[in-house]
Chains A and B, each alone.
Chain A
């Protein structure tokens, strides 16, 4: 199983869907572990009632149906399915509304969904998802990307309410961008990173505010990390392989 995860870490991100299904067919006994530990591109369905789209994940799935955060109904319809409690559903509705505005401010488009459900420890778990397709043909406003996908999955475990409440956040960002410049051929940067954050916060501002701030801080850090560290390191590698001509000319000829 560790070897399987090792393979997933090395295979180019653009092949991750094929790689995961290959591993699942090679190791059918480990399929549920693999599916839960390896992140896959996010799928989307349209809620027939509201006409809005919602993101599919393990956290809004029951059997083969998925629950829409807008109508709270399963697609395709499912009798006797898991639903959050009324109180949690109220918070979930508000979370979806506010998160949609947050999403619009930072992503200028895209789709978001939030799912809440009770867990066994008197607390609850929240999953915030964002999918942004920034390609020129989709939501990309500036037209630089031929293909561009940002997918964020934030899972927060919220502890029982006390003087301070514990929030454990695990965030994963999956990214793929292909620039569109006829003259330079293809240029594709893809990858995924995952980080965790834990905070104990008072309830004065409410759960949504606490979770929202954590997610905003985390997304900012991940974006910077991707930009400076990951893209920076790959650029550094390219310039190490073949230094730009200005550097070369300064080297003493031996």
Chain B
């Protein structure tokens, strides 16, 4: 940001606006957009910035939108994007058009056969989807999930490789309680001839802002693998691996939190001095007594 220049170009202002939008905490982009509109004071620039920033934010935060006719939900991710405003929902085999800035579905149509995976691949995808759905319903009070084909969707039979992305997202937005948070996990599963390679990325963030502004930002990557089996067995195997890693991650987050007060935070500021008493301020009446305090507290300076 060039502070020396008196006037920013429209292009620079737009980039700044997009930066604010993209860095909004989970569930808060609409509030940021509203404040930004005031600050920019230029609706044309605002519209340009939002139309460019919202799609990136939506896909990065894995937002969940309701399908028309309440037939379910669709996740907005980089893995199921067909065109900028079109996303595929494999469970109900629909293609959905959305308005990124309004964060809503505008229309939905059934997917054509060529847009879906081959029957061979779909058997694996469907079995995995069912297992993941079971897991998410059990582990997340408000979780949403889906399994998308990322590569090799037209594979015809054994020997052809393909790749899925398992996406799990849970968000909790309580602006009235000044608290918002989200959990995002993305698992890339590569199906190779005799083995499955699994890579996961887990992200958690939380924002509490009553009379302050404190944010948690945590992420973890992990890897695992398993053997190539029949679709149902693969699905169970993968779901178990995901369940195991996510539970372990949650445990390690809890450990980090429990260490916080006793150990970690102490490296910044102790609750009390080593003497376990409050600081003896009343001994500061005379400058020379400063040296007495030093003696009393046993520090050599």
Contacts and interface: CB of A to CB of B under 8 A. Distances in A.
A10 B38 CA distance: 15
A94 interface: yes
Interface in A191-213: 191-195, 205-206, 208-209, 212-213
Interface string A235-254: 10111111111001000010
B172 interface: yes
A177 interface: yes
Interface stretch (A21-29, A41-49, A71-79): A21-29
A175 B256 contact: no
Contact of A205 (B217, B252, B257, B282): B282
A205 B182 CA distance: 51
Interface residues of A, number: 90
Contact of A244 (B34, B216, B254): B254
A242 B246 contact: yes
B257 A212 contact: no
A166 to B, nearest CB: 18
Contacts of B3: 21, 24-25
Interface residues of B, number: 94
Interface string B250-291: 111111110111011111111111110011011011010010
Interface string A146-181: 001110000000000000000000000001010101
B25 A12 contact: yes
Contacts of A212: 279, 281, 284
Interface in B14-40: 16, 19-20, 23-25, 28, 31-32, 34-40
B268 A177 contact: yes
A231 B299 CA distance: 33
Nearest to A21: B1
Interface string B238-253: 0000000011011111
A52 B171 CA distance: 48
A235 B284 contact: no
A47 B75 CA distance: 57
Given A10-B32, A179-B256, A230 B290 contact: no
Contact of A240 (B138, B172, B251): B172
A192 B212 contact: yes
A15 B23 contact: yes
Contacts of A108: 270
Contacts of B16: 22, 25-26
A206 to B, nearest CB: 6
Given A107-B270, A179-B259, A238-B204, 12 more contacts: A11-B23, A26-B8, A94-B287, A105-B297, A106-B272, A148-B267, A184-B256, A191-B212, A231-B260, A234-B206, A234-B214, A235-B253
10 contacts: A3-B36, A9-B213, A105-B273, A177-B265, A184-B255, A209-B285, A212-B281, A223-B271, A237-B172, A238-B216
The 4 closest A-B CB pairs, nearest first, are: A191-B214, A185-B220, A3-B38, A193-B212
